[in-house]
Amino acid sequence: MKKTYLLAPGPTPVPETVNLEMAAPMVHHRTPQFSKIFGEAAEDAKYLFQTKQDVLILASTGTGGMESCITNLFSPGDKVLVVNGGKFGERWGKISESYGLEPIWINVEWGQAVDVNEVKAALDKDKDIRAILVQASETSTAVAHPVEALSKLTRDRDDILLVVDGITGVGVFPLPMDEWGIDAIVTGSQKALELPPGLALVALSEKAWKFADQSKCPHFYFDLKKERKNLGNQTSAYTPAVSLVKGLRAVLKSIKEEGLENVHKRHNRLARATRAAAKALGLKVIAPDSPADSLTGVFVPDGIDGAKIVKSLRDEFGVTLAGGQDQWKGKIIRIAHLGYVDTFDTIVAIAAIEMALKKFGHAVEMGKGVAAAQEILLEAY
């Protein structure tokens, strides 16, 4: 017998009740029965996004949602400022290049948040920049970029948009779209939304919709104007991913019931507990000044191969965490706090890391990280 635990930064565990919703008999998508489901999901998504704007539901993963922002808001030749501090920042730039935009790269050292002054200087230097493209939470490095501060650079100008990849941000920590003046924000189903991968959610500000009227990038499947029109009839432009939308409605209802503020607090509590545990174990936390509450990244001790630890945790201990990507391959462990993960999942992850480190010959005092985490996790009880 081996029980398994999933604390990777997506896909995240799916609640049993949501699985039951998704396994209910299939319904046809062009019926009043399904329109009601779709309409309720889209309505409750506004609560999640903290916006009065429509939230569009696309049958794709988050990258498709990111692409929809590029192809629906901009035109070939447009200059866009790309905050590149990890794999997903890089992705903004690559999508932009694919459609003939002109990315202006702000390269940020991995593990650091972008310096707002550097962004400001770039915008001051070139008034033709039409967007800041940024991650709320750069999943590859476990860093949160300062979205609120960036929004102050764009919100009072009508010729530039703040476009936020909120894939591991929305439903994790505050990103009040309307209050901050975020112009476009994307999330995906397999993160804080506790669903399998396969849905992207996208919302645009009034300013962004004006950009959409001018955009000349080609697109067909990802057509946000067409989606908005169809949303008026509580449906999507093409066949929606019916079972995932059913699950989305269920999850959004549970998020509303818990209260978004409490959802944020929960993620923050798990993140703080994990950081405290790392500290107690003498593990260096990535980005201690700008950590994302979606996941905690820690450097593995010198002389230990992080990839082997992650593999052992998964295959021997049954605990799936994430390792590092690209330049951080084998160097870090990432522990997610996203979605359907709570106190004792987090304790399991920390205990397993302690045990794996000991197994790999690192001097660890068993239970020391767990104890540090418990002190913080107790807040919830």
Among 50, 154, 190, 215, binds its own copies (CB under 8 A): 190
How far, in Å, CA of 359 to CA of 305, rounded? Answer: 12
Note whether 147 and 134 are within 8 A (CB). Answer: yes
> Is the CB of 29 or the CB of 267 nearer to its own copies?
29
> Is the CB of 80 or the CB of 276 nearer to its own copies?
80
Residue closest to 12 by CA, chosen among 159, 241, 167, 151: 167
How far, in Å, CA of 217 to CA of 196, rounded? Answer: 30
Q: Which residues pair with 112 in a beta bridge?
A: none
Least separation in angstroms between residue 195's CB and its own copies is: 9
Applying CB under 8 A, does 29 fall inside the site for its own copies? yes
Binding mask 71-100 for its own copies (x = CB under 8 A): -----------------------xx--xxx
Applying CB under 8 A, does 28 fall inside the site for its own copies? yes
How far, in Å, CA of 263 to CA of 170, rounded? Answer: 11
Residue closest to 58 by CA, chosen among 175, 230, 173: 230
> Is the CB of 19 or the CB of 107 nearer to its own copies?
19
Least separation in angstroms between residue 19's CB and its own copies is: 4
DSSP string, 20-48: HHHHSPP--SSSHHHHHHHHHHHHHHHHH
Judged by CB under 8 A, how many residues of this single chain contact its own copies? 53
* Cα 378 to Cα 59, 270, 351, 370, 371, distances in angstroms: 39, 11, 17, 12, 11
> Is the CB of 262 or the CB of 327 nearer to its own copies?
327
Least separation in angstroms between residue 340's CB and its own copies is: 9
Least separation in angstroms between residue 312's CB and its own copies is: 13
Stretch of 5-13, 115-123, 250-258, 266-274 contacting its own copies, by CB under 8 A = 5-13
Applying CB under 8 A, does 8 fall inside the site for its own copies? yes
Residue type, 237: A
Give the three-class secondary structure for 84: strand
Applying CB under 8 A, does 47 fall inside the site for its own copies? no
* Tokens, residue 216: 């000349």
Applying CB under 8 A, does 324 fall inside the site for its own copies? no
Binding mask 276-315 for its own copies (x = CB under 8 A): --------------------------------------x-
> Is the CB of 170 or the CB of 276 nearer to its own copies?
170
Applying CB under 8 A, does 374 fall inside the site for its own copies? no
Note whether 311 and 284 are within 8 A (CB). Answer: no
Applying CB under 8 A, does 14 fall inside the site for its own copies? yes
How far, in Å, CA of 208 to CA of 227, rounded? Answer: 15
Applying CB under 8 A, does 331 fall inside the site for its own copies? no
Residue closest to 235 by CA, chosen among 30, 94, 16: 30
Segments in the chain forming alpha helices (H): 16-23, 32-49, 62-73, 87-98, 116-125, 147-154, 177-180, 206-214, 224-231, 242-258, 260-280, 306-315, 343-359, 368-377
Applying CB under 8 A, does 60 fall inside the site for its own copies? yes
How far, in Å, CA of 62 to CA of 303, rounded? Answer: 36
Residues 205-264 contacting its own copies, CB under 8 A: 217-222, 238-244
> Is the CB of 98 or the CB of 327 nearer to its own copies?
98
Binding site for its own copies (CB under 8 A): 4, 6, 8, 10-14, 19-20, 22-23, 25-31, 59-64, 67, 70, 94-95, 98-100, 188, 190, 196-198, 217-222, 238-244, 314, 320, 322
